[in-house]
Amino acid sequence: MNLNQLKLFYLAVKHKSLSHAAEELNITQPAVTKGIQRLQEYYEVPLVHKLGKNMELTLAGDNLFQIAKKIFDLENIADDCMTDFQSENLKHLKINASESFGAYYLPEFINRFNVKSPKVRVTLEVLSNQLVVENTINLKNDIGFVSFPVKDRKLNTIEIVKDEIVIILGTSHSLAQKKQLKATDLEGHMIIMHEQGSYFQKMIHDLLKANNVSVTMPITFSNNEAIKRAVEGGTGIAPISKKVAAKEIESGKLIALSLSSTALYRTFYMIHHMEKHISEPLKQFMNLIQQ
């Protein structure tokens, strides 16, 4: 097998474009076409129904593409591994995290890590849970943090933090004098929710349904800060991770009440690719998270 020809085929299919494959490899588009044709001649089996903008794979082509993807994913892993050895001082950790963990947990961990390893550059990108998972599967980061357990054979998933879910209220709210809340105490109140499909929305819907409670939910936000500001302003009440509202609770701007009948918790997970090279700095960071 000619790996150069295989890479031409892989990139053309991956980008769904002969020109993009040619651009990435700094060669001409006809050279890409010729390489794919030679690959087909080598195997004596058609790999594509047609070349061009709308490339269509044959069954053989689809199978070869899946194998090629594994080969070139390993090539990326090899490159990452060798980069670690190029220079002891040239270190870089690329981290992806969901909003809550990235904004309210990781800064503290990164600061502690920086004290121990000041020469290691750390890049944190806060993304949706789904993008964190996708990037980790596609080896676009060193490590990811999400708020739900991921079941994928390519990933190692480790439970790291469990945080209580509380109901936050403004200081003048009618429920503010209570010590704890029962699910039935939420009857008739306005609840400010996270966006449709979020962990919190599902959790609250399940809780209300189980206890036959009716509430109004006219407002949804995708951002924790916006939810806290709305509750502070007296708009309604909201479920949120206790850590996320810790500053406002401590300062007295918000009141946080636990649900006594059904204590709720949110668990965060650390994920990394099973074949990801664990460099020494990455190992140190992972150990710090798990302490």
Question: Which has the closest alpha carbon to 148: 110, 207, 98, 106?
Answer: 98
Residue 260 has pLDDT above 90, yes or no: no
- The pLDDT of residue 89 is 44
CATH superfamily of 87-160+268-290: Periplasmic binding protein-like II (3.40.190.10)
Give the separation between CA 67 and CA 206, rounded to whole angstroms. 42
| Helix, strand or coil, per DSSP, at residue 91 | strand
> Is 81's pLDDT higher than 50?
yes
Identify residue 9 by its one-letter amino acid code. Answer: F
Evaluate if residue 87 carries a pLDDT over 60.
no
Mean pLDDT of all residues belonging to the chain: 88
What pLDDT, on the 0 to 100 scale, is given for residue 264?
81
Question: For domain 162-266, which architecture applies?
Answer: 3-Layer(aba) Sandwich (3.40)
Domain ranges of the chain: 3-85, 87-160+268-290, 162-266
Specify the CATH architecture of the domain 3-85: Orthogonal Bundle (1.10)
Judge if 87-160+268-290 and 162-266 fold alike in CATH terms: yes
Mean pLDDT over 227-256 rounds to 92
| 3 state SS of 157 | strand
Has residue 84 got a pLDDT over 80? no
Residue 106 has pLDDT above 60, yes or no: yes
- Supply 249's token pair: 């609770």
Q: What is the mean pLDDT of residues 90-101?
A: 87
Contacts of residue 243, defined as CB under 8 A and 6 or more positions apart, other chains included, come to 100, 104, 105, 163
Give this prediction's pTM. Answer: 0.66
pLDDT at position 86 over 70: no
pLDDT number for residue 285: 95
Q: pLDDT tens digit string along 168-216? A: 999 999 998 998 888 889 888 998 888 776 767 777 888 888 889 888 8
State residue 2's pLDDT score: 85
Q: Which of 1-5, 41-45, 83-87, 127-131 has the lowest mean pLDDT?
A: 83-87
Cβ proximity of 110 and 124 under 8 Å: yes
Query: Cβ distance 211 to 258 under 8 Å?
Result: no
Per-residue confidence at 53, pLDDT binned at 50, 70, 90? Answer: low
CA angle (181 as vertex; 179, 186 as ends), nearest 5: 140
The predicted structure's pLDDT at residue 278: 87
- What is the mean pLDDT of the segment spanning 74-99? 77
